[in-house]
Structure 1
Amino acid sequence: MSAFFWTCLAVACAANAPCDLVTEKWEILDAWEIGPAWAGHPVGFFLLTVPPYQYVAFYDAERQLVVGQRKLDESPFRFKKLPTSVGWDSHNSIVMAVDKRGYLHVSGNMHVTPLIHFRMTRPHDLESLIPIHKMVGENEDRVTYPHFITTPNGDLVFYYRDGASGRGRQLFNVYDAESQSWRRLLPVPLLDGGEEMSAYPSGPILGPDGMWHLCWMWRDTPDCSTNHDISYARSRDLVHWETVDGRPLNLPITPATPGVIVDPVPIKLGLINVGHHVGFDSQRRPIVTYHKYDQAGRSQIYNARWENDRWVIYQTSNWEYRWEFSGGGSIGAEITAGPVQIAKAGYLVQKFSHSQYGSGTWVLDEKTLRPIDTCLHTVRLPAEIARRESEFPGMEVRLAWDSGKPPAEESYLLKWETLPPNRDRPRAGPLPPPSTLRLYHLRRMP
C-alpha cells in the first residue's frame, strides 16, 4: 500500500468522529425469497418502490425476464413472465418506471438490438403488461443502455444509445401520459459521435441547484482503452443545454463542440467508462469524478471542480497500482469511485472501491478535495446479506438497491449471486445452479 493510504488509515483510527458520521448501519426489518435467478453471469436486475406498490424485474433460472408486483402491506409477489430471454451479455440490464397515471414501463435485454419495451394497458395491473417494442418508430433498431428519468413534475423521459460502441448517439424521448404516446424530447441527438465515436454518459442527474447535470467521455472503438476527453454540460429542462459557465450549446453536442471538455485525457491513459459522475460541494459547485493514470502511470481518482472560470483538476487518490484494461465486452471494474457528496456536519465524502486496497469512504477537505480521513466498510449490512450462499467456485454476491421511494430512513435491497463477467462470451464447462433472489426490507440505524 502507498504511504498516503496508510497515513489516511492511521488518521481514521486516531480520530473516528467523521467516520461515525458517514457510516451507514442497516438492520433487517423483513426478508422474502423471490425465487431462482440466472447465475451464469452478472446482469442488472431492478427494484422499484412506488407506494403503495413495489416492482421487481429479473432473469429467472431459464434466463427469461420476469416482473413481479406486490402491495407494500402484503408479503407475496405476483409474477408475470415476459417474452424475452437474456443471452451471455452483461450489458442487458433491466430498467423500470411508473408514469403519472400508474402504468408500469419495462425495458431491457438490449445491446445494439431492436427496442424491447413493455407497458401496462391498465394502471397497476400486472397482467396487463404487454410488449410494445416501439416508441417513436425511428432509430430503434440498435438500442443499448436504456434509462428512465421521472422529472419533478412527473413527466417520464427515456433515453438510450442508438448505434454501437465507437459509433453512436444519445436520443431522448418524453412520454405523454394522457395519449399514452412517446415523442422525441429533442429534435436531434443530445450527444452524437457519428460513425467515428460514441459517448458514455453518466446522468443526467438533478443537482441541488435545480439543474440537470451530465458528464461523459468519448470512445473511438469498442476497445475500452480508447476512451478520451471527459466532458460536462448542464440544463434547466433537459431541452436547452449549456456549458458550465452558462453559454448555450448548439445540439447535437459532438466531439468538436467547444466549451464542454473538463480534462482532455488522450486515449490509452486510463480513462474508463465506470465510476465517472457529477457531484457537488457545499457551494453547489459541480465536481466531475473520473479515473485516469497519473504521471507515473498509476491508476488514480481525479475530481475536477469549476473554480474562477476554469476547471481545476485535483488528484484525490495516491495509489501505487495500475489497472491495465483493454478490449471489448463487459469487464470487472477494479477501481471505481462515487460522486462527491455532502454528508452530516458539512463534510464532503466520496465512496471508493479498489481491488487491492479495499472499499470505503473518503472524508474530503473541501478546499483541496484530498482525503483527510479514510473510513473503511462504511456501509454496514447485516452479515447474512454479505455472506455468500453458493458453494460453486467463483460465485460473487450481487446487490441492487431500490430505485424508487421507500419510507424515510428505510430502503429495500435485492441480493443474488452470479459468476463474474466473461467479456459477454458463453462459458465453457459446468455452470452454477440458479441463485436464490432475495428481497430485504432495511432500516437505517442511528
Structure 2
Amino acid sequence: MRHASSVRPHHHRRPRLLGLVAAALLLTTSASAQPAPEAIDPEAIDKVWAGHSARFAMVTTKTHLYVAYYDTQRQLTVAQRPLNNPAHWVYHKVDTWLGWDSHNYIAMEVDPAGAVHVASNMHVDPLTYFRSDPSGDIRTLKRIPVMASTERESHMTYPIFLKDPAGRLVYKYRDGSSGQGNEIYNVYDEASETWKPLTSAPLVDGEGERNAYFMGPVLGPDGWFHIAWVWRDTPMADTNHDLSYAQSRNLVTWQKADGSPLPLPIKFKDAEIVDPVPVKGGMINNNTIIGFDADGRVTITYHKYDATGNTQIWLARREGEAWNSRQISDWTDYRWDFGGGGSLNSEIFVDGARPGAPGQLIVPVMRLGQSLEFVVDAKTLRLIEERKVASVAEKAAARLDVAEGQRTNTVQVTGPDGRVFTLAWPTLPPNRDLPQAKIPEPSDMVLFQDIEKGFR
C-alpha cells in the first residue's frame, strides 16, 4: 500500500501543547490504577470542527491506525498511518457534511479481509455508509447507497459495528425514530462484499408505541453477548422507563438471564425487566452500562431518583434467580432533572463495574465534569468509598489548548501490541442539536500514546 498523502491536513499553526509536567499532576489517586506509561510526545493529526460534539472513531489493525472525524468544514474525513510511522498520514475526504446534530457520530471498523467500513452522520436519515477495497487504503472508500434493505435504511440512527463469535462483521442500527423504532442487525460476507439481515426479524419491536435504547451487545468473560436497554415512549428524554436485559451466544437467538427464550422481535410485554423504573423516574438512555464482577457475573450501572427525589447511582447484578439492585451513591441536594428533546448536555456518565482490589468492585462515574470511582463490596454491593480521580479527558486537556466553555472529547483503542491510543479534541458541548450563536475556531485533534486506559 502506498502512503503518500492525497489530502493534506490544514495545520496553519503549531498546536499549543503544555508540558508533560502538567499531565503528571493529574495522575489518578485510584488504588487500582497502574503506573503511567512512559511519556511520549503528542501527535497533532488535524484541525477539526469544534462547534459541538459528535463522536469520532478510531480503530487499529495489525499494521495501521485509522481515524474518522469531521474536519474544519464539517466534512467527514478518514485518515490512516502505519502503526510504526507517525509521520506518514494519508487523508481522504468523502461526500457527507455534519450539521448541528450531536447524534450524528461516526462508526468505523475493518473487516477480516481488510476493508474499511465507515457509517456516520445519521439521525433518522437515509444510510450514509462508505467502504474501501480489501487493501484497506482509505483512498478507495466509496459510498454504498444500500446495505441490505432499502425499506429499512431510510430512517437510520445509532450505527455500530461489531464482530460475531465467528469473527464476521455485524452492523446494527435503529430503524425509525425516538419513541417508535426497531433494532436491526446485518452481517457482512467478505467474499461477495454484500450484507444481509442477521436475524429474520428486528431484535426489538416497539409496536409503534415506544422504542428501545440499547447499550451493547458486550461480549462477557462467559462467552455470552449481553445487552441492557431502556424503553422510551416519546422523543422526550424523561419518558425512559423499565431497565431491561437479554443475552445471546450468537447475536441471533436471545434469552433471559434464566435461559428462557426470547422470540424475536422482543416486545415490551415479553422483556426481562431488571428494574421497573417509571417514566420520569430519573433514568436516561445511554447510561445503562454492562459490566462484570470477578466471577464473571453481569452487572448494570445506571441512575434513577431515590425516594427523596435525589439522583443516585445504582448497580444491578443477577444473583441466583433474581436481579439485586443496590443504590451505591449517597448524594444529597442533587437532582439531574432532565427532559425535552435533542442531544442533552449531560450531567452524568456511567461505566460498567469491574473488579478492583480483592473483594471489591470499581464503578466509574462522571458527575458535573468530575470523574469519580465508587468502590463497593463485591459480595453485598454496599458502598465502601466514593473517591475523585482524574479522567482520560482531564489528562488530555492538561496538554491541549481548550477554550473557555469547551469540553475535551476522547476515544481510546488498544493496538495489537497492547499500546493504548487516545484521540482527544475540544469542542463546545451539545446544544440540543441547534446552532450555536457563533462559529468557534477549529480545535486541534491530537493523538496520545502515554495516557493509560480509563473512563472518558
Q: What TM-score do you get using the length of structure 2 for normalisation?
A: 0.88
**Paired letter, 1:436:** D
Deviations 1:53-108 (A, max 9, x none): 11000000000000001111111210000000000000000011111100000001
Q: Quickly say closer, same or farther: Cα 1:380–1:174, change in 2 above 3 A.
A: closer
Question: Structure 1 residue 146 and structure 2 residue 159: aligned?
Answer: yes
Q: Which residue of 2 aligns with 1:271?
A: 283
Question: Structure 1 residue 433 and structure 2 residue 433: aligned?
Answer: no
Aligned counterpart for 1:158 among listed residues 171, 175, 179: 171
Q: Cα RMSD between the aligned structures?
A: 2.0
Question: In 2, are the aligned partners of 1:23 and 1:378 still within 8 Å (CA)?
Answer: no
Q: Which residue of 2 aligns with 1:262?
A: 274
Q: Quickly say closer, same or farther: Cα 1:82–1:182, change in 2 above 3 A.
A: same
Question: In 2, are the aligned partners of 1:399 and 1:415 still within 8 Å (CA)?
Answer: yes
Q: Which residue of 1 aligns with 2:66?
A: 55
Question: In 1, are the aligned partners of 2:29 and 2:388 still within 8 Å (CA)?
Answer: no
Question: Structure 1 residue 407 and structure 2 residue 420: aligned?
Answer: no
Question: In 1, are the aligned partners of 2:165 and 2:250 still within 8 Å (CA)?
Answer: no
Distance in 1, Cα, partners of 2:452 & 2:29? 18
Question: Structure 1 residue 32 and structure 2 residue 43: aligned?
Answer: yes
Aligned counterpart for 1:197 among listed residues 210, 214, 219: 210
Aligned counterpart for 1:230 among listed residues 215, 240, 243: 243
**Paired letter, 2:180:** R
Report the Cα offset of residue 381 of structure 1.
Answer: 7.7
Question: In 1, are the aligned partners of 2:205 and 2:267 still within 8 Å (CA)?
Answer: yes
Secondary structure of residue in 1 paired with 2:316:
strand
In the TM superposition, what are the counterparts of 1:345-424 in structure 2 within 5 Å? Answer: 345=358, 347-355=360-368, 358-379=370-391, 385-391=397-403, 393-402=404-413, 405-408=415-418, 410-424=419-433
**Paired letter, 2:127:** L
Secondary structure of residue in 2 paired with 1:256:
helix
Deviations 1:247-273 (A, max 9, x none): 111110011115x11111110010111
Distance in 1, Cα, partners of 2:447 & 2:311? 36
Q: Which residue of 2 aligns with 1:43?
A: 54
Distance in 1, Cα, partners of 2:136 & 2:286? 35
In the TM superposition, what are the counterparts of 1:61-76 in structure 2 within 5 Å? Answer: 61-75=72-86, 76=88
Q: Which residue of 1 aligns with 2:33?
A: 22
Distance in 2, Cα, partners of 1:150 & 1:80? 25
Report the Cα offset of residue 378 of structure 1.
Answer: 4.9
Distance in 2, Cα, partners of 1:339 & 1:238? 21
Question: In 2, are the aligned partners of 1:22 and 1:344 still within 8 Å (CA)?
Answer: no
Question: Structure 1 residue 442 and structure 2 residue 454: aligned?
Answer: no
Secondary structure of residue in 2 paired with 1:437:
strand
**Paired letter, 1:351:** P
Structure with the bigger RCO (C-alpha within 8 Å, sep 6+) is: 1
Q: Which residue of 2 aligns with 1:133?
A: 145
Distance in 2, Cα, partners of 1:24 & 1:87? 41
Stretch moving more, 341-350 or 52-61: 341-350
Question: In 2, are the aligned partners of 1:362 and 1:375 still within 8 Å (CA)?
Answer: yes
In the TM superposition, what are the counterparts of 1:150-189 in structure 2 within 5 Å? Answer: 150-189=163-202
Distance in 1, Cα, partners of 2:388 & 2:161? 33
Report the Cα offset of residue 121 of structure 1.
Answer: 2.3
Question: Structure 1 residue 94 and structure 2 residue 102: aligned?
Answer: no
Stretch moving more, 149-158 or 26-35: 26-35
Distance in 2, Cα, partners of 1:297 & 1:400? 33
Report the Cα offset of residue 388 of structure 1.
Answer: 4.9
Q: Quickly say closer, same or farther: Cα 1:220–1:380, change in 2 above 3 A.
A: closer
**Paired letter, 2:372:** G
Stretch moving more, 181-190 or 147-156: 147-156
Give the share of equivalent positions with the same residue, in percent. Answer: 43
Distance in 2, Cα, partners of 1:359 & 1:167? 34
Report the Cα offset of residue 407 of structure 1.
Answer: 2.2
Structure 1, unpaired ranges of 5+: 1-16
Secondary structure of residue in 1 paired with 2:302:
strand
Question: In 1, are the aligned partners of 2:108 and 2:119 still within 8 Å (CA)?
Answer: yes
Question: Structure 1 residue 208 and structure 2 residue 221: aligned?
Answer: yes
Stretch moving more, 360-369 or 31-40: 360-369
Distance in 2, Cα, partners of 1:178 & 1:346? 48
**Paired letter, 1:310:** A
Deviations 1:162-182 (A, max 9, x none): 000000000000011111110
Stretch moving more, 277-286 or 88-97: 277-286
Question: Structure 1 residue 78 and structure 2 residue 90: aligned?
Answer: yes
Secondary structure of residue in 2 paired with 1:274:
coil
Q: Quickly say closer, same or farther: Cα 1:424–1:379, change in 2 above 3 A.
A: closer
Secondary structure of residue in 2 paired with 1:313:
strand
Report the Cα offset of residue 413 of structure 1.
Answer: 0.9
Distance in 1, Cα, partners of 2:73 & 2:90? 18
Secondary structure of residue in 2 paired with 1:127:
helix
Question: In 2, are the aligned partners of 1:28 and 1:382 still within 8 Å (CA)?
Answer: no
Distance in 1, Cα, partners of 2:48 & 2:159? 22
Question: In 2, are the aligned partners of 1:67 and 1:79 still within 8 Å (CA)?
Answer: yes
Secondary structure of residue in 1 paired with 2:262:
coil
Aligned pair count reads 423
